[in-house]
């Protein structure tokens, strides 16, 4: 049977369970726009839940950062075929807890670095193996995030992906600077700073929220 897209009011009226079924049919039917709108709506419906969960364990000024990290991780972590709403919520809770743990782990590391009066040793500055979120799903579904990221420069894309992976602003700046080519002649680009990283990631989150809200009309 040929897939039939729904207009915005009908899409918004779907229950979460039916929305999951619809987005799977949209993907299988090759309707990228309908799939994107469906997954945007499903994830965004959980936004207040994620913010509330994060707010119990993270200082107020950082709640939105951690919540958006959880959302971007979730978008890329579910296959949805055969997934029930209970499984989705459970997986989303797991991802959110991981992003909260990442936040506190990096804060503790930065505080330790400051107490020592310098950066951590070389081994601790490398990119750690990422604990994958694919336990909760299968094929990566990163349409929304990738579309927003793709509009950035290569350097900014690297910054955003490192922050999504859980690296702190300080670690991200260090990693970006390590990866930049240079011959020591003085012609190297200006070094990335934690403040630059925060600014880049803040703009990304703002644009991501606008993309989610604009695509679904909610």
- Give the chain's domain count: 1
Question: In angstroms, how far apart are the furthest CA atoms of the chain?
Answer: 65
- pLDDT exceeds 70 at position 103: yes
Residue 95 lies in a domain: yes
pLDDT of residue 3: 86
> What's the pTM value of the predicted model, to 2 decimals?
0.54
Tell me if 40 is assigned to some domain. Answer: yes
Q: Is residue 3 part of a domain?
A: no
State CA 82 to chain mean position distance.
23
Instruction: Please state, rounded to an integer, the average pLDDT across all residues of the chain.
Output: 75
- At 154 the pLDDT is 86
Residue 2 in any domain: the answer is no
Query: What per-residue confidence (pLDDT) applies to 189?
Result: 63
Residue 133's domain spans which residues? 8-216
Dihedral over Cα of 70, 68, 148, 177: its sign: negative
Residue 107 lies in a domain: yes
């Amino acid at each position: 049977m040929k897939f039939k897209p729904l207009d915005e009011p009908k899409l918004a009226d779907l229950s979460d369970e039916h929305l999951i079924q619809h987005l799977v049919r949209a993907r299988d039917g090759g309707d990228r726009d309908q799939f994107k709108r469906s997954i945007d709506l499903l994830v965004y419906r959980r936004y207040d839940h994620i913010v509330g969960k994060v707010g119990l364990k993270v200082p107020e000024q950082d709640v939105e950062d951690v919540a958006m990290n959880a959302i971007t991780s979730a978008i890329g972590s579910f296959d949805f075929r055969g997934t029930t709403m209970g499984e989705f919520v459970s997986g989303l809770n797991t991802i959110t807890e991981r992003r909260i743990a990442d936040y506190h782990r990096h804060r503790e590391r930065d505080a330790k670095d400051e107490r020592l009066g310098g950066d951590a040793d070389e081994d601790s500055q490398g990119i750690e193996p990422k604990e994958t979120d694919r336990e909760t799903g299968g094929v990566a579904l990163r349409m929304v995030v990738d579309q927003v990221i793709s509009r950035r420069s290569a350097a900014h894309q690297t910054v955003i992906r490192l922050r999504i992976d859980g690296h702190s602003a300080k670690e991200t700046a260090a990693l970006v600077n390590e990866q930049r080519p240079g011959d020591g002649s003085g012609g190297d680009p200006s070094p990335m700073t934690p403040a630059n990283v925060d600014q880049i990631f803040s703009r990304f989150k703002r644009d991501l929220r606008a993309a989610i809200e604009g695509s679904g009309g909610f």
